[in-house]
Amino acid sequence: MKAVKTTCPYCGVGCGVLAFADGTIKGDPDHPANFGRLCSKGSALGETLDFEGRLLVPQIGKRDASWNEALDLVASKFRDAIDELGPDSVAFYVSGQLLTEDYYVANKLMKGYIGSANIDTNSRLCMASSVAGHKRAFGTDTVPGNYEDLDQADLVVLVGSNLAWCHPILFQRLVAAKAERPNMRVVNIDPRRTATSDLTDLHLAIKPDGDAALFNALLTEIEARGAVNTPYVAAHVTGFDATLTEARVSNPKDCGLTHAEIAEFIDLWIGTEKTVTIYSQGVNQSAVGTDKVNAILNCHLATGRIGRAGMGPFSVTGQPNAMGGREVGGLANMLANHLDLENPAHRNAVQNTWNAPVIADHAGLKAVDLFQACSEGKIKALWVISTNPAVSMPNAAFVSQAIENVPFTVVSDIMADTDTGALADVLLPATGWGEKSGTVTNSERRISRQRPFIAGPEEARPDWQIICDVAKRMGYAEGFNFTSPAQIFDEYAKLSTATEQFGKDFSISGLANLSEEEYDALAPVQWPIKKGQKPQARFFANGRFFHADGKAKMLPITPPRSIDTPYSFRLNSGRIRDQWHTMTRTGKTARLGQHISEPFAEIHPHDAEKIGVSDAALLRISGRNGSAILRVMVTERAQIGSLFAPMHWTSTFSENGRINHAGDSQVDPISGQPALKGAQVTAVAF
């Protein structure tokens, strides 16, 4: 049996997979993201390929319908809303699970044909603060380094990242590098002790959101000890003096660590030139997430430790294609190819290449605002593609009501029975992983092919095709006459050729004009890959940034102040090792359910005693708008005053275990990313 080379559909590590038609799954030894390794989720992919629970045919209301009837209805409802109330009366909410080609046509339809930027994505929940931090510091959304830097670093600092569970293969790579070079040091900065902390040299249990105070203290000491890379800063960085002044007035104790802990971290960081700082959702999912990102970037810029082998800041993305979505402009405040919605020249270039009738000229609604607008009756037609916001959004009960309030909602999904699908007027069956074809981009900017190796349900269609079919019925045949993902990818690559004049970081012009066969055979490749040039492995060592003056910006960061609230706990929601998102795929395999079989809440023994609960008791966690009931896990891994609960369980698996019902809608004001690790809640024995 012949193996098909494809890419894992779960996390942003982007591991290569060898898949066989009988469902056998192996790691791809040739893929540079994983060299043959797979984690528990990846290796169980073969157990998730059956059609049980799949959405098999289009549905209107609760009845089966033909594709023609369903697509006609979707197109006419969107058309009517736009004609009557304008382009901003409709919205798409899409997903980091989409392939880049799916994302590309969805974004093209909304921004270039409908003329609104009301397309946002569940990637807003994942890495929007990193995007905003990158843009503030670098002038564009660039990940400077790559996975090889982990092999070469002498110090790896993991901030707000449970890498061992959430990016397991990257963590294994780190463990292997440390085994080979025992002098390598690994530090974990996280309020909660996790599986990652167990394997690191130093765990720093900072106060939640204490990151900025800690990195401000580091910056102050970098300057005090003469560790500033003065030539690099003078030539390539602005804002150093103002940033340092602000850092000096912030109080290191606000990070919640002892003087000795802070000193140990600072000694290690300053004394180790080859330092990589990895950060993830603990940094991003915060009301001050963008500031925390910039506090980290400030220290790398001040020392010039960026873009060289074994050093640099490194945002690791949660989803398999959050990066691809960023590249095609799948966020409400971005254009394709990292171009700026606010820039008329950028808009013109994209509109001309698309030959589009219009182009959105202002930012659309970001995820939380989008559902708020639904609740206020401002959205008349909504299309949710490949995601389950009725479970995964914070304040999920409110989001469910908001979706119910939209006069016409379409959901495209592979599964028939999801919390969001239950609210839809039309359900459209999509093909899933193993059945569809396209590309994804992982955390190190590496584009890899997802290739089909099994047939999907007879009537299921790829997302790109469904979107194009609706676009054509809306009167946009010319722009959506694609017959294969290769054709979409080719147009996307040619958009790079047309927009390279703006000197942005992103380009795949070197991948234009691939034949169908060449596209199918495309080997994993990092962007940028310009015509006639080799892919670029790292950015910024040469000091050329993407602000108008060619320099990077350091930004003064004021750490957040503690505020008094009537709530007794701070809720930190996150992932567990063996489940993915809302369990639509991982919930199919009993093997993955054996690790942790039900939703739980970690609570510190001190707090457990205070509210009178013990291990295995039930706890009701309540926020402003809803609550969840979870099994108690008493553990010193939790910080006093904090609770941790996994976000995976849906009504299918646990009616009461949907923790995002207790979450609230607080967002980072710069990135719009919800503070999924900072909800204020109460907890009582149930």
Binding of residue 81 to ligand SF4 (CB under 6 A):
no
Q: What is the distance between the alpha carbons of residues 247 and 216, in angstroms, rounded to a whole number?
A: 5
CB of 379 to ligand SF4, least distance (A): 33
CB of 123 to ligand SF4, least distance (A): 16
CB of 550 to ligand SF4, least distance (A): 35
Nearer to ligand SF4, 14 or 139 (CB): 14
**Token output for 412:** 């495209």
CB of 41 to ligand SF4, least distance (A): 4
Binding of residue 414 to ligand SF4 (CB under 6 A):
no
CB of 168 to ligand SF4, least distance (A): 5
CB of 365 to ligand SF4, least distance (A): 30
Backbone phi, psi, residue 625, to 5°: -125, 0
The DSSP string of 562-598 is P---S-SEEEEEE--TT--TTSTTGGG-HHHHTT--S
289-303 helix and 240-249 helix, angle to the nearest 10 degrees: 120
CB of 14 to ligand SF4, least distance (A): 6
Binding mask 148-187 for ligand SF4 (x = CB under 6 A): -------------------xxx------------------
CB of 147 to ligand SF4, least distance (A): 12
Binding of residue 287 to ligand SF4 (CB under 6 A):
no
CB of 11 to ligand SF4, least distance (A): 3
Nearer to ligand SF4, 10 or 92 (CB): 10
Nearer to ligand SF4, 106 or 169 (CB): 169
- Give me the residue whose beta carbon is nearest to ligand SF4: 42
CA distances 495 to 118, 337, 529, Å, are 21, 8, 13
Burial of 483 (0-12, 13-18, 19+ CB in 10 A): exposed
Residue from 6, 11, 123, 489 touching ligand SF4 (CB under 6 A): that is 11
CB of 345 to ligand SF4, least distance (A): 38
CB of 634 to ligand SF4, least distance (A): 29
Per-residue DSSP letter, 431 = P
CA distances 442 to 86, 139, 327, 514, Å, are 36, 21, 11, 21
Cis, peptide link before residue 528, omega less than 30° from 0: yes
Strand 552-553 relative to strand 627-634, pairing: unpaired
Binding of residue 126 to ligand SF4 (CB under 6 A):
no
From 13-21, 216-224, 247-255, 602-610, give the range in contact with ligand SF4 by CB under 6 A.
13-21
CA distances 471 to 68, 81, 88, 177, 358, Å, are 13, 15, 17, 49, 14
Q: Which of residues 536-555 bind ligand SF4 (CB under 6 A)?
A: none
CB of 96 to ligand SF4, least distance (A): 13
Nearer to ligand SF4, 9 or 462 (CB): 9
Residue from 10, 398, 539, 600 touching ligand SF4 (CB under 6 A): that is 10
Binding of residue 15 to ligand SF4 (CB under 6 A):
yes
Q: Do the Cβ atoms of 194 and 160 come closer than 8 Å?
A: no
Binding mask 16-35 for ligand SF4 (x = CB under 6 A): ------------------x-
Nearer to ligand SF4, 10 or 78 (CB): 10
Residue from 41, 54, 135, 136 touching ligand SF4 (CB under 6 A): that is 41
Nearest alpha carbon to residue 576 among 653, 640, 684:
653
Backbone phi, psi, residue 661, to 5°: -70, -25
Binding of residue 8 to ligand SF4 (CB under 6 A):
yes
Nearer to ligand SF4, 239 or 432 (CB): 432
Dihedral over Cα of 419, 424, 426, 430: its sign: negative
Nearer to ligand SF4, 167 or 346 (CB): 167
Q: What is the distance between the alpha carbons of residues 156 and 310, in angstroms, rounded to a whole number?
A: 9
Nearer to ligand SF4, 15 or 227 (CB): 15
**Token output for 397:** 């009960």
Residue from 6, 14, 270, 402 touching ligand SF4 (CB under 6 A): that is 14
Q: Do the Cβ atoms of 375 and 401 come closer than 8 Å?
A: yes
Nearer to ligand SF4, 39 or 356 (CB): 39
From 9-17, 261-269, 464-472, 535-543, give the range in contact with ligand SF4 by CB under 6 A.
9-17
Binding of residue 38 to ligand SF4 (CB under 6 A):
yes
Number of residues that bind ligand SF4 (CB under 6 A): 14
Binding of residue 468 to ligand SF4 (CB under 6 A):
no
25-50 burial, b at 16+ Cβ within 10 Å, e below that, comes to bbbbeebbbbbebbbbbbbbbbbbbe
Q: Do the Cβ atoms of 598 and 670 come closer than 8 Å?
A: no
Say how many CA atoms lie within 13 Å of 449 toward its Cβ. 22
Nearer to ligand SF4, 45 or 297 (CB): 45
Nearest alpha carbon to residue 442 among 259, 647, 169:
169
Residue 307, helix vs strand vs coil: coil
393-419 burial, b at 16+ Cβ within 10 Å, e below that, comes to bbbbbbbbbbbebbebbbbbbbbbebb
Nearest alpha carbon to residue 320 among 474, 185, 166, 177:
166
Binding of residue 144 to ligand SF4 (CB under 6 A):
no
CB of 442 to ligand SF4, least distance (A): 8
Residue from 5, 32, 42, 453 touching ligand SF4 (CB under 6 A): that is 42
Residue 385, helix vs strand vs coil: strand
Nearer to ligand SF4, 34 or 673 (CB): 34
Nearer to ligand SF4, 36 or 357 (CB): 36
CB of 597 to ligand SF4, least distance (A): 19
Q: What is the distance between the alpha carbons of residues 150 and 276, in angstroms, rounded to a whole number?
A: 7
CB of 429 to ligand SF4, least distance (A): 24
Binding of residue 39 to ligand SF4 (CB under 6 A):
yes
Binding of residue 504 to ligand SF4 (CB under 6 A):
no
Q: Which of residues 290-329 bind ligand SF4 (CB under 6 A)?
A: none
Cα 191 → chain centroid:
21
The residues that touch ligand SF4, with contacts defined as CB under 6 A, are: 8, 10-11, 13-15, 34, 38-39, 41-42, 167-169
